[in-house]
Amino acid sequence: MSLEIAKQYEDFVRKVSPQVAELLGVKNRKIKIIFASTVEYPVLGVTSGRTIFLNTEWFGRHPNDHGTIVHEIAHAVMDINVALELESWLIEGLADYARVALGYPTLTGLSPDYDPERLFEGYEPTAHFFLWMKSKYGDMEIKNIARSISEMQVFDVEKLRRLLQEYKKDNERSL
């Protein structure tokens, strides 16, 4: 990968990370990007703390895959060093929510759909839940969840449970 392309990605991260941080209600953080041939497909990117490792081969072939980078930026601005396994669906869902809410395509190129079977897997199905939450109640509750996870604080699980029940009820009606 050329230095020019790597510089373009670094500029993109510097430009977009404040938008992602604002969307999630967390602090914007200085993010480091490393292109690594050790990150092997099907993994396109991995984030540890505030460092994003991008798959050199993938981004060499797909230089316009900014959606994956936005997803990883979300992880980096949340600066999650330790996450409970029970929170992983929320963390991945928040990252895909940021991708879609900021107008970057998902890997499938489609908008997330309601998928009750996969809701707790994270990614697009959970992003759909956050998009529903934003349309119904605004973004404050999403920011509260993201901030709580980012700051390793407990969030209101009962409220989340009620929102999930309402989400399922609303979406089952529309099927």
* CATH at residue 42: 1.10.390.10
Q: Is pLDDT of 35 > 80?
A: yes
Instruction: Return the pLDDT at 172.
Output: 92
Paired with 53 in beta bridges are 34, 46
Instruction: Return the pLDDT at 111.
Output: 84
Kindly report which listed range (89-98, 105-114, 152-161) carries the lowest average pLDDT score: 105-114
Domain count of the chain? Answer: 1
Whether the model clears a pTM of 0.85, i.e. scores above it, the answer is yes
Instruction: Return the pLDDT at 125.
Output: 94
Instruction: Of 74, 92, 89, give the one whose Cα is nearest residue 160.
Output: 89
Task: Say if residues 99 and 123 touch (Cβ distance below 8 Å).
Answer: no
Instruction: Compare 38 and 163 and report the one with higher pLDDT.
Output: 163
**Tens digit of pLDDT for each residue in 140-161?**
999 999 999 999 888 888 999 9
Q: Is pLDDT of 87 > 90?
A: no
Residue 40 CA to residue 51 CA, distance in Å, equals 17
Q: In which domain, by residue range, is 142 found? A: 3-173
Residue type, 149: I
C-alpha angle 68-121-105 in degrees, rounded to nearest 5 = 25
